[in-house]
Amino acid sequence: MTSLPTRTIGPFTVSAIGLGCMNLSHAYLPRPDAAEAERLLRHALDVGVTFFDTAALYGFGANEELLGRTIMDRRGDFTLASKCVLGEIDGKRGLDGSPVAITKVLEDSLRRLKVEHIDLYYLHRLDPKVPIEESVGALARAVEAGKIGAIGLSEMSAATLQRAHAVHPIAAMQTEYSPWTRNPEVAVLDACAKLGVGFVAFSPVGRGLLAGNVHAAHLQQGDIRANMPRFQAPHLRANLALVDQLKALAAQADATATQLCLAWLLAKGGHIVPIPGTTSIAHLDEDLATLSRIWPEDLIAAIDALFTFDAPSGPRYPREAQAQVDTETWEGEPLA
């Protein structure tokens, strides 16, 4: 196994760039077939990725099953993270942060993953019907029972993090963070640093757009990005113009736009671990190559200047999805 630079997330030492496994089974189209997905996962291990992120939601369990049958023979080589609360309820996506539901979903995750212990287990979203203290309490009992090693939160605010951390130490906060989604900089990123909580950045290349992988307004039916305002007219054209400027910066640096996004994130704090997702081995290798270079401060500053908070056009989420996140918004942010 190749050795990559590492960072710390709670009690875990992980590769400085992890792998988000969602789009192998969920949300984005097209998806790889089973053999392609399995090859990607094994390749990631072979080249030194030691942080794999899944969730009960992804494919309504299919993603956990994929990891369970593919890489658990090398369980000692990586840190495994999964999530509960947001998942399948009566055949549809729904929220249930009650202790009873969390306990059941955890048992289902353990079964699908073919393990007796998950290293890091997140509350995927805040269930507004259940006090965060009750949801964290359920996971604290799972820690005591040896079923999980540490507790994480996803898409939650600094205030919620502080309440949760008072019940049980929180190891990680996972939230969307990239040059075109800088909401964590409002409050939660600093809160994580002060509390010693690792920050896991999902969608670090803007759900593929900043990588240059979205070229037209017509995403496939069933791809969740098709319902996101930033991928719809008239916003998409303005956002693609931003991508063109990012590509120009990348060309000057003899790099790719993806690598610039990842380098920018890594420069934002030593407690940050991006988890890009991909269905391509070549793209995964491109991601990891970011770690083999030293990135000049003026290049990072140029990305900052290009992607001000208000530079992206359109709301981050459609109305229903926005209602399910507890993250801070910046002053003047357009909301669906």
User: Active-site residues: which are they?
Assistant: 58
Tally Cβ neighbours within 10 Å of residue 46. 12
Closest CA to 55 of 275, 321, 280: 275
Q: Using CA atoms, how far apart are residues 231 and 240, in angstroms rounded to an integer?
A: 9
**Contact residues for 305 (Cβ-Cβ < 8 A; gap 6+):** none
Q: Using CA atoms, how far apart are residues 149 and 36, in angstroms rounded to an integer?
A: 30
Q: Using CA atoms, how far apart are residues 252 and 52, in angstroms rounded to an integer?
A: 32
Let me know: does 77 contact 14? Beta carbons within 8 Å: no
**Contact residues for 13 (Cβ-Cβ < 8 A; gap 6+):** 6, 7, 50
> How far is CA 317 from its chain centroid?
15
